[in-house]
Amino acid sequence: MTPSARISAAIEILDDIAARRRPAADALKDWGLAHRYAGSGDRAAIASLVYDGLRRRASAAWVMGEETGRAILIGMLRLQRGLAEASIASLFDGARFAPPPLTEGERRRLQEGSLADAPPEVAGDAPAFVLSSLTELFGDALLHELRALGRRAPLDIRANTLKQSREAVADVLADLSPEPTPLSALGLRLPLGEDGRGPALHVDPVFLDGGFEIQDEGSQIASLLAGAKAGETIVDLCAGGGGKSLALAALTGNEARIVATDADPRRLAPIHERLRRSGATVEVRTPRGGKARTDVLADLDGTVDRVLVDAPCTGTGTWRRNPDAKWRLRPGSLSGRIAEQAEVLDRAARLLRPGGTLVYVTCSLLPEENDAAVDGLLRRSQGAIQAVATDLGSVPGLADKVRRTSRGIQMSPALTGTDGFYVATLTSKSA
């Protein structure tokens, strides 16, 4: 496919996403199934155009004066990819499979359109209803942080030290030009292509042999801050696909008892293959659905040394990776997540032995899901749970970059170069 044909496809997909209010991944998959002639390189390039368009949806629409797929793509090419009017016009030339030529109005918008007077939700490409919460966190740095959230995320991997060191992984992946991650001593960062596409790591022999996992540096840091120790009983309460369970197993050299579970058994499905590949020792407890559902952790109540709660959240800290998620976010989804967080924190508290540690993690930037969730648990526990400062000593250099909140620490793309992870540490009152 020509570059112009790829742009036509991206416009079609953006219009489909807007009309049907569906996830971008679903729209891209359906387009690919309906256009089987498109090769993997074409599909990757189209996906990159679509996701870049979603990253700049509000600002591109503001510059172009309308919110259509075509307007968003044209505005994005200028704002996100820095193309001049002449370069954009060459892609919109009306040739076969190309979009129709630019109109005089579009040319004028490209020449004169500006974000100088745009409101922050437009200039920062964010839903307006979360701005007050983000302003509470970021203050005067709001627009700087929002723009960082609009950039592409890097591609990070975590060396699985159960099998080989970071240096050894770097050596075998030398042809991919990996660099050590700035903060995590376990990570490597791989360069992306101009289209935002990274190497096919999931078929790399080192990956298939368990030598590394694909994991954002922020997630690696959260695992390090959990403070897991050999000999402990540790519960990963919202384990999902098991990324942090695997990291904890490696950090403790497989010398801790790690129990992984999740309220949604479907989310646990990938963990078994990942465990086989990595050599990590983790006990997986999968809850049953329906009327037969039982508490799979009841036997551990009051005995656990450390509980990691990587809570379900709005994912506002991952907008670099999931730009369509921010436009599908609604106030009702936030309130639903807050209720889930309260439930899972209360369950975690019951697991702790006296003096045990609870580490609360989200990939959210919203104080309602972070400090406020911790405050809620402290109130409900009536003194049985206490907040303590998170020890940052396991991640040299983090203390100078992280944003401290009243109950924890907040990472963000602009400050730490990671996804927007929040970490808070609590303890159960000793007997």
The catalytic site residues sit at 363
C-alpha 262/C-alpha 286 separation (Å) is 7
C-alpha 258/C-alpha 236 separation (Å) is 7
Instruction: Decide: 54 and 328 in contact? Cβ < 8 Å.
Output: no
Residue 16 among known ligand-binding residues? no
Residue with token string 């600002």: 59
DSSP 98: S
Closest C-alpha among 24, 59, 77 to residue 12: 24
Residue 346 among known ligand-binding residues? no
DSSP 153: P
Between the alpha carbon of residue 363 and those of residues 123, 219, 425, the distances in Å are 23, 9, 15
* Residue 384 Ramachandran class (φ > 0 left, ψ -120 to 50 alpha, else beta): alpha
Residues shown for the chain: 431
- Helix/strand/coil for 52: helix
C-alpha 347/C-alpha 375 separation (Å) is 16
C-alpha 381/C-alpha 379 separation (Å) is 6
Instruction: Decide: 251 and 262 in contact? Cβ < 8 Å.
Output: no
Please enumerate, by residue number, every residue annotated as part of a binding site for S-adenosyl-L-methionine: 262, 310
Please enumerate, by residue number, every residue annotated as part of a binding site: 262, 310
